[in-house]
Structure 1
């Protein structure tokens, strides 16, 4: 019984870690996408200005 309880605790800790990683990505990805769009827009504006 004790061994099974320890196994459940380890699995729960693993799942909790995975969920935290997913949440971190969920909030980081939109910031990266906005940064990419801003950089692309700046590059296009710079290219149009030189033409």
Structure 2
């Protein structure tokens, strides 16, 4: 019984880790998109000479 409980606890910890990793990506993605758009805008402005 205790070994089974330990196995379940290990699986729950693994799922927690995976969920936290996914949440990090979810919140980091919009920042990366905004940075990319700003960088593209700056590049276009520099290319047009303004």
**Same fold by TM-score, threshold 0.5 exceeded?**
yes
TM-score, structure 2 normalization: 0.94
- Number of equivalent positions: 50
Q: After TM superposition, what 4+ stretches of structure 1 lie above 6 angstroms from structure 2?
A: none
TM-score, structure 1 normalization: 0.92
Task: Give how far 1:49 is off.
Answer: 1.1
Gaps (5+ residues) in structure 2?
A: none
Gaps (5+ residues) in structure 1?
A: none
